[in-house]
Chains A and B, each alone.
Chain A
């Protein structure tokens, strides 16, 4: 028995090294986290035995910091004894079973039971192809999250990030990875000896249209590429422009993107339409304008500029064309992104010699610093606006950190084999 376990561990580790699977560490949870039981699912049929997706749901809820997940050793039946769990201060119970129906098709039945009202909140029954197990687990996690907290979850979404490993000779390998929101199901098809920067998911909801814009130095200069990981699996290079091309960010339609170009050396922001290949200049200023990002409704564009002599965030109203300064606190504010409700910006904010993540209320201009690190970069909101993912540095090694906007919860994604950086969290996917 011991031998078998060892063998499995070995295989998993190997997979980890090959696919750059990140280690997830929950750092801080809500003091009033919701006590919930997520029972192992009942597995019916030979093929179902290794497919207990309750583990994915348990990890999702726990990672959000809003749940205290209790996992009983024995499987809890779907007729829940409310009084028993009430005595143990459990407020909700998730049960389920997975039944193999044919070679690749399984039937799921998952229920959420509310202990205090003594009511079944839902039972979801679905037939799932074996390839859809993870997706169903994330969808179920979102259902549970929403039913109990009254807010949308961000589990059925995707991450992209860059990993960097250094071999014995000191040569670096850069990988552009995509994964589920739990950093599992990793695909890393783009592997280069040269730096990769700023990957960003297009806001398209369907896998067919979903794509990633990123910056690569593979031709010895910064160029913007668009990768279609699901359909054509192809990579399109944007036309060659003078100087640097960088800092891509998508229009909410997914049909065009903004990027920074340095035509004649002047770094300004341009919009590039993928269909008609038309380039439109959005800023005209001799200073550095870069790191543009659309508001969720596409009417505003936040960007970094040193036009005042300091590095600050500006917002361009795309209807009126008016540009106004958004940040006034501190001498360095950069890389702003809008929250999903469009009311706030997350950004990199310098305090003394430290670069930290801060949030700005656009209306009141209140700036709150979210972190206590030395070198934070690349903040992005989770699609429900509940958390911010960013890159940071510990003991001179890059890792990803995720903090709730209230600051009461956080977790980390790190790599045993190298550095992790440049995270981006997708918007919602099709259901």
Chain B
């Protein structure tokens, strides 16, 4: 059942992103969706009342809501998909891995589809090293993410970059298990 449902979904998503001529790597996105059981399960449950045309509509065309609500719902939908809103970095590093690039492309797609949303990229560092150097490092991480997003037309002006350095850790552990979670960039939509 899962496999049967997956095929038309892949086909339609492919047509959707492909027709926009926006991104080269949409096939990667679809493969990842297919590999993620959770997403497929959700669609299977919706089978009876599923409206195929919803998939072809950009999120911000949703009706019966204020624009702010629409933005929120769109972001919620993106969150419910398997898109990462936090990207992680190596020690003293600001390089974007191939995996991270794929996640950033999903966000680029989302921003293209939702022209009203603005993105705040918050760069963070782990506690090691000096606070001021980490503030600079956190900004470099956020800027690396922005650089990828900025490759796509019309996004650059909608992205704000800030750094909190080591000041806002999400993990408390004072060892690598905590540090690896704190070296990050968070995607915050407005």
Q: Which residues of A contact B (CB under 8 A)?
A: 195, 197-198, 215, 217, 220-222, 243-244, 246-247, 260, 262, 265, 267, 288, 290-291, 304, 306, 311, 332, 334-335, 348, 350, 353, 355, 375, 377-378, 393, 396, 422
Contact = CB atoms under 8 A, between A and B. Distances in A.
B113 interface: no
A197 B134 CA distance: 12
Contacts of B165: 197, 222
Given A265-B139, A288-B140, A396-B174, A195 B133 contact: no
Nearest to B142: A265
Contacts, number: 86
Given A244-B139, A262-B139, A396-B174, A291 B163 contact: no
A422 B132 CA distance: 11
A290 B128 CA distance: 16
Contacts of A350: 129
Nearest to B173: A396
Contacts of B133: 288, 290-291, 304, 311, 334-335
A377 B128 CA distance: 9
B92 A260 contact: no
A244 B130 contact: no
A243 B139 contact: yes
A290 B163 CA distance: 14
Contact of B164 (A195, A311, A377): A195
A217 B167 contact: yes
Contacts of B108: none
Contacts of A291: 130, 132-133
A20 B19 CA distance: 62
A288 B136 contact: yes
B131 A197 contact: yes
A54 B164 CA distance: 45
B188 to A, nearest CB: 11
A377 B130 CA distance: 6
A350 B92 CA distance: 13
Contacts of A215: 132, 135
A247 B132 contact: yes
Interface in B148-176: 161-165, 167-168, 172, 174
A422 B168 CA distance: 16
**In the complex, which of the residues A217, A244, A260, A335 has the most CB atoms of chain B within 10 Å of its own CB atom?**
A244
B70 interface: no
Nearest to A221: B162
B137 interface: yes
Nearest to A196: B167
Contacts of B131: 197-198, 377-378, 422
A244 B140 contact: no
21 contacts: A195-B167, A197-B131, A198-B132, A222-B162, A243-B139, A243-B161, A244-B162, A244-B163, A262-B136, A265-B139, A265-B161, A267-B139, A288-B136, A288-B137, A290-B136, A306-B92, A311-B129, A311-B133, A332-B129, A378-B130, A378-B131
Interface class of chain A by DSSP: strand
Contact of A197 (B139, B167, B174): B167
A105 B101 CA distance: 72
Contacts of A377: 130-131
A221 B128 CA distance: 21
B143 interface: yes
Contact of B130 (A262, A306, A334): A334
Among all A-B residue pairs, the 9 with the closest Cβ atoms: A195-B167, A247-B132, A335-B130, A288-B136, A334-B130, A265-B143, A267-B136, A221-B162, A290-B136
A244 B128 contact: no
A138 B15 CA distance: 78
Nearest to B128: A355
Nearest to B131: A197
Interface in B110-150: 127-133, 135-137, 139-140, 143
A241 to B, nearest CB: 13
Interface in B52-95: 92
Contact of A335 (B132, B161, B174): B132
A335 B130 CA distance: 7
A215 B163 CA distance: 13
B130 A375 contact: no
A177 to B, nearest CB: 17
B79 to A, nearest CB: 22
Nearest to B175: A353
Given A243-B139, A265-B139, A265-B143, A222 B129 contact: no
Given A195-B167, A222-B163, A311-B92, A348 B139 contact: no
Nearest to A310: B92
A193 to B, nearest CB: 12
A332 B92 CA distance: 10
A260 B132 contact: yes
Nearest to A306: B92
Given A220-B162, A396-B172, 6 more contacts: A195-B164, A197-B135, A215-B135, A244-B135, A244-B162, A422-B131
Given A244-B139, A265-B143, A267-B136, A375 B128 contact: yes
